[in-house]
């Protein structure tokens, strides 16, 4: 069992949040929610996704690097310990398929599935490569002011530096929204070298598209997110503590659910990941 | 155990392919590959995805209609029988989370996982709705010629009518490609009223983006596909046997894998589904 308090203050909050203790069962890990990534009624979805990927990264039988990750938020995690299960259900020559889940004891102590996921890892070779969605031409991070997180905001917002470029949270909630495109520079706070888990969490940083589209703050929550990883570990290492350009857009808002498509580039213009999610909204 | 031959010739090939026999275990079904949807070394990926959704649709405990489906192609199915497992791992008030898999006996008769999947079904209510990706303005299906499937092509191509609008398969494989955007009108052959399973298969109809981008026909195969369903059963019923406008584009081609983002509208311009996939390619 782990809690934030047992870590030294020198550890990065992301590394604290991602600590998973191995158990006697291979692929089963014990973790705990981290107060630094708390959202409204549970952890920030990005940290939950990153935690599932962390279980894959730590697994002794892992083949290759992350290629895709899909996380389904079946129920909110309560503050406290949880169990992660990571099973490599099929290992091919160069790809490996994973099924994952998070379980947490309910009020009666019965383990309940809060999160399901699948992942694919792959050994990649250098091939012909090209990007068909070039990074938008925008002024560098230094020319955009960092968002000042207001007091009373959800805690996880303090774990990220966000420098809005276009389409950020409306200043007035007057129902005047007319698009759903957001661009921002972003990175971990404090600065932390990028890796696959950090990148996964960053793919979920965007506030709900419906807020922007409607200029109205309705309840909303991710139901399922997918991240496709285009970068190698070496490319993430080269990115280091630099900013990522994140771009997100809604495609369709229909009867309680909208989808979001997102792209993440590093400052050098390399596409690191693309991501999609389907999100519940009320009213 | 089922085979194509036991169905009357009046059944639609899609309905034949989607036949799943219940077993004594709730959520476990027996199916069989259908020669009419055969690809190169296994079934067309779209029919496999549709089969997994079919298991959800048939399940006695299903809540609501499909919202999202992610299918991971861990290994090719061999021609013959297979087992589908569909488990509703968590049922909330208005959403239900599923884990799914297909198993097939290997040469020694040992069941092996060929496909993993997760799905979410949901009870939806009418809410404020809007589309942020309007259907492209293109001439109607009647103004585009239907693709004539050449002899020797993979069999499943004969199960679809495709009327290319833009960016179809290159005529010459001369390495001259410069984009990855395809638009086409499409529907089942013979005509068949649209439902969630048919829509799922249609989301995977697009030929590999890398062929278009490079004007070079390299080996390629989907590793993971996600479909987000925006339409209700009633909207699919209204679509009937009409054409869908399919649009697909690659975002990033990198070291053996590219991703594809796709949209599917009906002729009335209603967005029925958005879809994404990550695809292996060689060289």
pLDDT tens column, A59-118: 999 999 999 999 999 999 999 999 999 999 999 999 999 999 999 999 899 999 999 999
Name chain A contacts of B251, Cβ cutoff 8 Å.
Answer: 131-133, 263, 271, 274
Domain A143-281: state its class.
mainly beta
Q: Looking at chain B, which residue has its C-alpha nearest residue A265? A: B252
What's the CA gap between A116 and A223, in Å, rounded?
Answer: 11
What's the CA gap between B86 and B60, in Å, rounded?
Answer: 11
Shortest Cα–Cα distance, A163 to chain B (Å): 24
Shortest Cα–Cα distance, B70 to chain A (Å): 7
Mean per-residue pLDDT, B262-277: 98
- Pairing of β B257-266 and β B271-281: antiparallel
Mean per-residue pLDDT, B46-73: 98
Tokens of B10: 């009046």
Q: Looking at chain B, which residue has its C-alpha nearest residue A132? A: B251
What's the mean per-residue pLDDT of chain A? 95
Q: What percent of chain B shows pLDDT beyond 90?
A: 91
Tokens of A61: 């039988």
Q: Do B113 and A122 touch (CB under 8 A)?
A: no
What's the CA gap between A224 and A117, in Å, rounded?
Answer: 9
Q: Do B223 and A67 touch (CB under 8 A)?
A: yes
Tell me if domain B4-122 and domain B146-281 are identical in fold. Answer: yes
Tokens of A227: 């991240």
pLDDT at A163: 98
pLDDT at A10: 85
Tokens of A277: 């999610």
pLDDT of residue A2 exceeding 70, the answer is no
What's the CA gap between A45 and A208, in Å, rounded?
Answer: 12
Strand partners, A233: none
Which DSSP string do the residues of A151-190 spell out, in sequence order?
TTS-GGGGGEEEEEEES-S-SS-SS------EEEEEEESS
Helix (H, G, I), strand (E, B) or coil at B105: strand
pLDDT at B5: 46
Backbone angles phi, psi at A53, to 5 degrees: -65, -35
Give the number of other Cβ atoms within 10 Å of residue B235's Cβ.
18
Question: Is residue A250 within 8 Å of B132, Cβ to Cβ?
Answer: yes
Query: What residue spans of chain A are helical by DSSP H?
Result: 13-17, 45-58, 196-202, 209-214, 233-239
3-class secondary structure for B125-180?
CCCCCEECCCCCCCCCHHHCCCCCCCCCCCHHHHHEEEEEEECCCCCCCCCCCCCC
Shortest Cα–Cα distance, B195 to chain A (Å): 18
What's the CA gap between B192 and B16, in Å, rounded?
Answer: 13
- Could you tell me which of A216, A234, A215, A227 has the C-alpha nearest to residue A260? A227
- Could you tell me which of A153, A144, A83 has the C-alpha nearest to residue A115? A83
Q: Do A223 and B283 touch (CB under 8 A)?
A: no
- Could you tell me which of A239, A142, A243, A236 has the C-alpha nearest to residue A187? A243
Q: Do A252 and B261 touch (CB under 8 A)?
A: no
Shortest Cα–Cα distance, B126 to chain A (Å): 5
Q: Hey, CA dihedral for B230, B233, B238, B244, is it positive or negative?
A: positive
Interface test with A, best of B48, B63, B68, B126 (most A CBs within 10 A): B68
Mean per-residue pLDDT, B144-165: 95
What's the CA gap between A99 and A72, in Å, rounded?
Answer: 12
Tokens of A97: 């398929």
Mean per-residue pLDDT, B5-13: 71
Strand partners, A262: A248, A275
Shortest Cα–Cα distance, A122 to chain B (Å): 10
Q: What is the DSSP letter of A209?
A: H
pLDDT at A5: 46
What's the CA gap between B246 and B237, in Å, rounded?
Answer: 18
Q: Do A276 and B280 touch (CB under 8 A)?
A: no
Tokens of B277: 């996939």
Shortest Cα–Cα distance, B89 to chain A (Å): 7
Candidates A67, A131, A283; nearest CB to B278: A67
What's the CA gap between B246 and B136, in Å, rounded?
Answer: 10
Name chain A contacts of B228, Cβ cutoff 8 Å.
Answer: 257, 259, 276, 278
- Could you tell me which of A39, A9, A24, A12 has the C-alpha nearest to residue A157? A39
What's the mean per-residue pLDDT of chain B? 95
B146-281 maps to CATH 2.40.160.210: yes
Q: What percent of chain B shows pLDDT beyond 70?
A: 97
pLDDT at B170: 86
Name chain B contacts of A199, Cβ cutoff 8 Å.
Answer: none
Q: What is the DSSP letter of B217?
A: -
- Could you tell me which of B31, B48, B19 has the C-alpha nearest to residue B222? B48
Q: Looking at chain A, which residue has its C-alpha nearest residue B252? A: A131
pLDDT of residue A8 exceeding 70, the answer is no
pLDDT of residue B230 exceeding 60, the answer is yes
Backbone angles phi, psi at A162, to 5 degrees: -125, 125
pLDDT tens column, B66-107: 999 999 999 999 999 999 999 999 999 999 999 999 999 998
Shortest Cα–Cα distance, A10 to chain B (Å): 36
Q: Do A255 and B249 touch (CB under 8 A)?
A: no
Q: Do B122 and A228 touch (CB under 8 A)?
A: no
Tokens of B151: 């002899």
pLDDT at A171: 81
pLDDT band at B9 (very low <50, low <70, confident <90, very high): low
pLDDT at B169: 85
* Residue ranges per structural domain of chain A: 4-122, 143-281
What residues contact B77, with CB distance under 8 A and at least 6 apart?
A: B33, B42, B43, B48, B102, B104, B114, B115
Q: Looking at chain A, which residue has its C-alpha nearest residue B70? A: A70
Interface test with A, best of B48, B56, B71, B74 (most A CBs within 10 A): B74
Q: Do A127 and B271 touch (CB under 8 A)?
A: no
Interface test with A, best of B233, B255, B264, B266 (most A CBs within 10 A): B255
Q: What percent of chain A shows pLDDT beyond 70?
A: 97
Q: ∠B122-B126-B131 over CA atoms, to 5°?
A: 95
State the pTM of this model. 0.96
pLDDT at B2: 42
Backbone angles phi, psi at B13, to 5 degrees: -55, -35
In the numeric block, the tokens 């439902």 are attached to: B195
What's the CA gap between B44 and B42, in Å, rounded?
Answer: 7
Q: Do A129 and B99 touch (CB under 8 A)?
A: no
pLDDT at B83: 98
Mean per-residue pLDDT, A3-32: 86
What's the CA gap between A137 and A144, in Å, rounded?
Answer: 14
Q: Looking at chain B, which residue has its C-alpha nearest residue A129? A: B254
Asked if this assembly's ipTM is beyond 0.90, the reply is yes
pLDDT at A132: 96
pLDDT tens column, A137-151: 999 999 999 999 988
A4-122 maps to CATH 2.40.160.210: yes
């Amino acid at each position: 069992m782990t809690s934030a308090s047992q870590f030294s203050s020198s550890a990065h909050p992301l590394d604290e949040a991602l600590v998973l203790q191995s158990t006697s069962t291979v692929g089963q890990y014990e973790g705990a929610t981290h107060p630094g990534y708390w959202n409204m009624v549970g952890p920030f979805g990005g940290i939950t996704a990153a935690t599932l990927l962390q279980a894959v990264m730590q697994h002794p039988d892992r083949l290759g690097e992350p290629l895709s990750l899909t996380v389904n938020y079946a129920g909110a995690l309560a503050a406290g310990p949880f169990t992660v299960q990571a099973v490599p259900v099929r290992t091919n020559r160069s790809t490996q398929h994973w099924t994952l889940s998070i379980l947490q004891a309910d009020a009666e102590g019965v383990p309940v599935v809060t999160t399901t996921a699948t992942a694919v890892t792959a050994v990649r070779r250098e091939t012909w490569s090209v990007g068909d969605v070039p990074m938008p031409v925008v002024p560098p991070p230094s020319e955009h002011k960092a968002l000042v997180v207001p007091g009373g905001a959800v805690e996880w917002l303090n774990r990220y530096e966000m420098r809005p470029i276009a389409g950020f949270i409306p200043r007035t909630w007057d129902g005047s929204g007319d698009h759903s495109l957001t661009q921002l520079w972003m990175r971990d706070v404090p600065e932390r070298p990028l890796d696959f888990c950090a990148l996964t969490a960053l793919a979920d940083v965007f506030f709900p598209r419906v807020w922007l589209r409607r200029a109205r703050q309705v309840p909303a929550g991710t139901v399922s997110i997918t991240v496709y990883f285009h970068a190698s570990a070496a490319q993430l290492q080269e990115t280091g503590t630099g900013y990522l350009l994140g771009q997100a857009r809604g495609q369709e808002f229909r009867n309680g659910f909208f989808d979001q498509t997102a792209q993440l580039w590093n400052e050098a213009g390399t596409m690191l990941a693309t991501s999609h999610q389907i999100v519940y909204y009320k009213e």
